[in-house]
Amino acid sequence: MFKKILIANRGEIACRVIKTAKKMGIATVAVYSEADRDARHVEIADESVFLGPAPSRESYLVADKIIAAAKQTGAQAIHPGYGFLSENEDFARRVEEEGLVFIGPKHYSIAAMGDKIASKKLATEAKVNTIPGYNDVIESPEQAVTIARDIGYPVMIKASAGGGGKGLRVAFNDKDAAEGFASCRNEARNSFGDDRVFIEKFVEQPRHIEIQVLGDAHGNCVYLHERECSIQRRHQKVIEEAPSPFISDETRKAMGEQAVALARAVKYQSAGTVEFVVGRDQSFYFLEMNTRLQVEHPVTECITGLDLVEQMIRVAAGEKLGFTQEQIPRRGWAIECRINAEDPFRNFLPSTGRLVRYQPPAQTMESAQPVPEGGGVRVDTGVYEGGEIPMYYDSMIAKLIVHGLDRDDAIRRVREALNAFVIRGISSNIPFQAALLAHSKFVAGDFNTGFIAEQYPKGFSADAVPHDSPGFLLALAAAVKRLALHRAAGLTGQLRGHEMKTRDDFVVVLLAEDGSRQSTPVRLRVENGRYAVEVGGRTHVIALHGSLRDIAMHGECDGEPFCAQVERVGLDYRLTHNGRSVRARVLTPRAAELYALMPFKAPPDLSKFLLSPMPGLLVDVAVQPGQKVLAGEKLAVIEAMKMENILVAMQDGVVSKVAASKGESLAVDQVILEFE
């Protein structure tokens, strides 16, 4: 067994590998860029080596620096994590040639299966059903359009070295194909150093289901059941679960055996994932193979009880698998939510900056540790309160993983955990995750990869989040206000005759972004430390635990435990529960009468400006002063978190001024263009 390994990655996955290495008694070496100097993975590793500037192409993608760091520190092996160099055949070969061990598959397996074009050809030769497409390298946008027409729209344009939704576009017409080809090549070049692109038919209403495989150097290969990954937004996975609520035992067995056969064909040694697209009739087609550890590997660990990182390390050290196919269990149900630094209410644009508050839910499971019999909650992360979310890398803040007795139990647990997950300073997709988990079709298991686009065609808004009991939030606002008044009334030194008095009748005013207000009278009485709040003819009995300074407030409502986020915002309270967020002002009846007379101050008209919707790098300005533009025309391109974001004109107009320069780092709402 190795005595020391280097983790050629950052963030959550670097921390995850370090935990398993420490459990196995293996010393760890972290590498870091300028942006990650104070990162968590650097802190928890035994030692660390500085790689270079923040951009990944100057740090985490430089193989020479990583290999030199391993030699400098005496590391015997390198774990690549996922992303960066994890599926780079040349890097894996270099590691082996330098006398080190690559904790992953052999370079020839990566060459055969990690390259999407080569893997499809190999699958075809092995008589595995593949999706119709053009698997040779495409040289120009014009050629891409011709090929797309021959296959028939819609088509998927995909980077050969892609992954994680990077370098991927769906085209429904010639314009989409030409623009998508150019964007895919740019993203692939920047993220993977490989700009090859291929095109295949886009199967509409598909399921995305993947099989986890594990092989060793002694000819053993098994599959560790499947993961359901159909809940995706723009081809980026949002929620993953294991097992799938869709496929039958017969399909599961057939997919698993086919995945193993494919892995055996390339003498696969390590953990890998064979991805399939599955039709309504449970027919399945090979999509691609990821020759690395997957982001969603924890759900497989939960249902099998196996530590996949440990298995990768043991296989790389030459050990045999310690179990057969028949000995792999499938216990309970696991769900993973990716908590990303993005604003769901602004079309999921990246949100970077400082984590002013970071308070994950209570954890009863831990990565690299045995899975509890009754299930639990686990959070894998590489961040900490007060740390920075940089603009140079992936947007993931954390992964929330729950394990339940069955699917309903897992959904209930993950909803509770999301309620308790506090993130402030940057925006996160937690409200969106909560809405998905409450959606009737998700709960019923009735979805495909187009689910999010179909259910939220106009994007995501606060109104898209239903709530089981809207009166609960009003009652909670009144109870919190009453508690605050009671505390204020107990302060010493108050002027005699003018002491703070508590009262039992309020008006809760809900404030909307457009200035509209909804007023609801409530009556409240205190009984044995509990608040009986009458709202709309119904009485909610609320008990509050903890302190008013706690954002995540725990308690019981009508005998049922709850966790809701409550925080003071000026004169108002912002309350969040089950993804629903409201801004409430709790007033006396007279104050509510006067407040209703106050005019609403409308926000300024910004239609004459193009504002940066996110922090990022301005890589292109496509217009000049005096130029006429039409609605839908490209204006600028911003790069953030390895993704290119094209900004287009919302209406016809004339550019009067270009206020930002190409290559400039932009802040949120910074002016890029002005219009006449």
DSSP string, 519-559: EEEEEEEEETTEEEEEETTEEEEEEEES-TT-SEEEEEETT
* Residue 493 zone, left/alpha/beta (φ > 0; ψ -120 to 50; rest): left
Q: In this structure, what token pair is assigned to residue 241?
A: 């679960």
Nearest to 340 by CA among 396, 391, 394: 396
Q: Which of 349, 354, 437 is nearest to 643 (CA)?
A: 349
* Secondary structure of residue 318 in the 3-state scheme: coil
Active-site residue (options: 187, 288, 342, 644): 288
Give the integer Cα–Cα distance in Å for 180 and 169. 6
Separation between Cα atoms, residue 104 and residue 87, nearest integer Å: 9
Instruction: Report whether 623 contacts 673 (CB < 8 A).
Output: yes
Tokens representing residue 187 in the block: 């993203």
The SS3 call for residue 202 is coil
- Strand ranges for 249-332 from DSSP E: 270-278, 284-290
Q: Could you tell me the two tokens for 111?
A: 């060459």
Instruction: Spell out the residues 6+ positions from residue 644 whose beta carbon is closer than 8 angstroms to its own.
Output: 183, 186, 187, 619, 637, 638
Spatial strand order of the sheet with 27-33 comes to: 47-52, 27-33, 4-7, 77-79, 101-102
89 is catalytic: no
Using alpha carbons, select from 415, 572, 416 the residue that is nearest to residue 480: 572
Question: Among all chains, which residue has been given the structure tokens 């409200």?
Answer: 431
Tell me whether residue 118 is exposed, middle or buried, using C-beta atoms within 10 angstroms of its C-beta: 0 to 12, 13 to 18, 19 or more: middle
Residue type, 264: R
Residues paired with residue 563 on neighbouring β-strands, in sequence order: 554
Enzyme catalytic residues: 288
